[in-house]
Every structure is written in structure tokens, then in C-alpha cells.
Amino acid sequence: MWRSLTVLVAVSLLLLTGCSTPSTLERRHGYLVDHSHGAPSHGSRVRHLVIHYTSSGEARSLATLTGPHVSAHYVLPLPARRHDGEPLIYQLVDESRRAWHAGASAWRGRTHLNDTSIGIEIVNHGPDRSFAQVEAALEAAPEVALPIHWAPYPEAQIDALIRLARDIIERHGIHPTDVVAHSDIAPSRKIDPGPAFPWRTLYEAGIGVWPEAASVARYRARFAEVAPDTATLQRALAAWGYPIEISGEPNTPTRDVLRAFQMRFRPADYRGQPDAETAAILWALLERYHPEALEALTNHD
């Protein structure tokens, strides 16, 4: 009797759904969804990969990131761990969901990057002082190197990050220029992952961007003679992706953006001051990854 009833239910479902089979049906709360007609015209909503540090130890980081106010898709533990010979990574939010990691943010004309990004938090203490103290040190002694110690990123942790980032980038088709630091997309609020983060190592592993040395040298020689004025530098920073107003004034927001750029591409000196080397790196990046933006910048000049 029960077998006959089961067959009858299956036949009824087939009649209700045309050529659908039970394996294509999903029962939800009060209705059925038929997955037998899949559309090929779609793509990932994810356009950005954002790298953060937690600025605290693992237990506190996880408590914060699993609380009611902030989250991330992935967390890389410290110390780095392995399971069955592979790096262990925590996933807190499904990639299809919007994690709350970017906050007020912008990159290349897009805003609210929580909507279009995957966030990776790396357990790392960052600098040996608060963000406010880093800011105060920059303002108090902008002409000298800062005596700030930044926590290192262990090799095993970076190995785990490289594996994770490669996978995310491949699955979502993220452009190299859209692999960004939290400080890139919120330069006046954030400084993570900081100047100790090994961006060049990631680039050499096929993740993100880096300028060509010959191009940097060529532009450095050019700008040693005539440096770009503030408005031109601001336009170049905006062309690279930073949210910056073209004011022509060397104001605090411009310093914040320069600091973010230098932390990533010239970490030996991240005081946020314009100089020939910083401009050379920026122009070399535009030449390599956004030549159309560099051409527009040149035509504007």
C-alpha cells in the first residue's frame, strides 16, 4: 500500500511539473521550486576581494566577527593551522551572502562594496598603537620615519591566503585591480592590512597587481625633473580607483589616499607625502593596467 502511494505521489509531481523529475524539485516553506530550466545568462555579483587584518587575537576576532555588528566571509587563524595536510580557514558567511566588512567604501566609482565583495580577515595585531596614535604620529613628524612596529604575517598564514584568494578570484572572475586593501576602499578610516602585508608576494603568486620596475624607473627620472602638480596627482589617484576629490589642494583626504597607496606599493615610507617615487609607481601602474585612464590623464594635461 505504501509503495503504491509513493508511486502515485511521484507520478503526480511529474504531471504537475511537466518533464521535471523529483531530483530537480526543491521543497521550501509552503511551495516547490523546479530547477529543471536553468538559464545560462548570468554571472557572479562579486567584483572585489578585500583584505583586512583583525587588529586583535584570534578569540577576540572571532567573537567580534560572529557578533551582531560586523562579519567577514573568511578568517585566517593565528597561529596558522593545518588539517589533513591542508591549511585550515574559517568561513563565517556564505559567499552568496553580504558580509559586513567593508563599511562606508568606494573603489573605481562603485560604492557600498559590501554589496559586491568578499572579505577576508587575517588575524593580525597590526601596529603597536591605535589608529588615532598612528594618525597623531604622522601629523607630529611628517618628515621622519615613524617608529611604529607592525605585526608580521607568518609564511604559513600567507600560504593559506594565497590558496583561498586564488580560488575566489578564479570562481568569480575578479580583475587583478579589484583585489584591494581595506585601506584602499576607505583610506580616511582604515589602515589595514598595513605596510607589513606582503602584496608583492601575492602578486608573484598570481594575485593582485604590481608595477613594472623599468616603468617605475622611467617615470621616476621624469618626475625628478618636473613633478605632477597636486590636481594632476589627485586625478591619477582617482583614475587608479581611489575615492578622492580633485581639489588641487594638498588636504587631509589626499594625504590619507597617498598613505594607503604607499602602504601597499612603497611600504618603506608611508607618511602620505607626495614625491617622485610615489608618482612614478602610480603612473607605472596606470600604464600597465589602465592605459586608457593614463591616456585620458595625459590628454587632460
Is 295 catalytic? The answer is no
Task: Render pLDDT for 175-212 as a digit per residue (tens, 0 to 9).
Answer: 999 999 999 999 999 999 999 999 999 999 999 999 99
Task: Render pLDDT for 52-79 as a digit per residue (tens, 0 to 9).
Answer: 999 999 999 999 999 999 999 999 999 9
Residue of 26, 58, 86, 121 marked active site? 121
pLDDT of residue 193: 98
Task: Render pLDDT for 77-116 as a digit per residue (tens, 0 to 9).
Answer: 999 999 999 999 999 999 999 999 999 999 999 999 999 9
Rg of the chain on CA atoms, in Å: 24
The C-alpha torsion from 114 through 119 and 124 to 127, rounded to 10°, is -40
pTM of the model: 0.89
How would residue 142 be classed by pLDDT, with cut points 50, 70 and 90? low
pLDDT of residue 115: 96
Phi-psi region of 145 (alpha: psi -120 to 50; beta: other; left: phi over 0): beta
